Amino acid sequence: MALENNEGLRAAEMHMQAAEQKRKAATTQYLPEFDLTGSYTRQSDVPTYSLLGQDLKFGTEDVTLLSVGIRQPVFTGGKIRNNHKMRIHLESIAKEKRRLKAEDVIYETDENYWLVVSMRERVRLAEQYKQMVGEHVETLRNMLDAGIVMDNDVLKAKVKFSETELLLLEAQDGVQLSQMALCRVIGLALDTQITPSDRLQDEPVAVANAGSAESALRQRPEIRMLEDNVNVGRSVEAIARSQYAPQIALWADYSYMNPSPYNSFEDEFDDVWMVGVVCSLDLFHWNERGFELGAARRERQAAELNLEEARKGVALEVKQVEFQVDESLKKIRMTTSALEQAEENLRVTRDRFSEGVVKSTDVLDAQVLWQEAYSRHIDAKSEYRLKGSAMQKALGVLLKAEKGNKQ
């Protein structure tokens, strides 16, 4: 839904189609050009010359011309071929830009989706925490009636219960806000209620192997765009170099005109045809061609340097994401262990409280530790799922993974 409704992605699609049209237009430069010219001229008078006692008029007041011409490039120094190659690479860049935008949309959608899932987990945690503290408050009230605890113990528990209500309210608001953000991304009305089909589970995320960096260099749209940019620079440089070569073309023209140039400019139509070869070569223009060639060469060199820098950056990014995935897995293990310890601590503290060994505040503290451990566990699992998407994006396969999920 996000891919279908994103305006930026649709704009990228239009740019891609525009680049395709320009590439097709460049292809036509290989073909002959046809032109049709028609004109009518009315003169106020025509030249008159006296010869041997006679007045001779050359031409007529009305001149009509219809001409059809054809021109076929024969040699342009590679200008047409390199312009066509440049348009092919520019079309490829437009396609990769669309793909890059699509991956950004998918990643943003994943981010907002898992945020909704995470906030719903927090609501469940807040409800469970509220119920837990509420049961403790009820226990203290019964104990107060029996004269076992003091009013102060009940008041402290009530204060903590009020805090749980606030946590629940914040979590519920978080769900609504995260749902609105997701609705915006996928093109739904902001007040649409969404029920995710997923839960935050401790599932393994496939960590890239040692060849991941090399795979990313082949897959990442940014790298492909920069590679095409280098090829565009080479084509522009070749086009600039072609200005030093002669331009050769065949041409033909057929004209149908009145007055007739072959019959004393009589008021009648006659036809004229011509064929030829034209060759032109710029000799000197204050080194304009040299400056343009130098500029094109430096632009190409700059594109090559940008490509090399991006390759190093992608290799580093893949390694960083690998470390982050490993770190998120470790966080899950650590928070799982911490949560188990917090649950055991809460159980032991409750037992000791019922035996009169510890105070009510110790139970409240144990509940807080449990709630905090559970919250960190939710954060770890949410981060863990996002790192999976980040790894796919770093490797340049996020769009392929999305298509695979649809299938």
User: Could you tell me which of 326, 335, 339, 322 has the C-alpha nearest to residue 392?
Assistant: 322
List, for the chain, all residue ranges whose pLDDT scores fall below the cut of 50: 210, 407
* Torsion of Cα atoms, 205 then 209 then 213 then 218, to 10°: -90
Say what the pTM is.
0.84
Q: pLDDT value at position 149?
A: 84
* Locus of tokens 């770890």: 380
Domains of the chain from N-terminus onward: 92-241+300-406 (1.20.1600.10)
Q: pLDDT value at position 407?
A: 41
- Name the helix (H) or strand (E) containing 399: helix 398-406
Q: First-to-last CA distance in the chain?
A: 15
Using alpha carbons, list the distances in angstroms from residue 208 to 243, 318, 324, 391. Answer: 49, 9, 12, 8
* DSSP of 28-87: GGGSPEEEEEEEEEE-S---EEEETTEEEE-S-SEEEEEEEEEEEEEE-TTHHHHHHHHH
Q: Is 31 within 8 Å of 107 (Cβ atoms)?
A: no
Helix, strand, coil percentages (3-state) for the chain, rounded to 5, are: 70, 15, 20
Q: pLDDT value at position 44?
A: 72
Q: pLDDT value at position 209?
A: 55
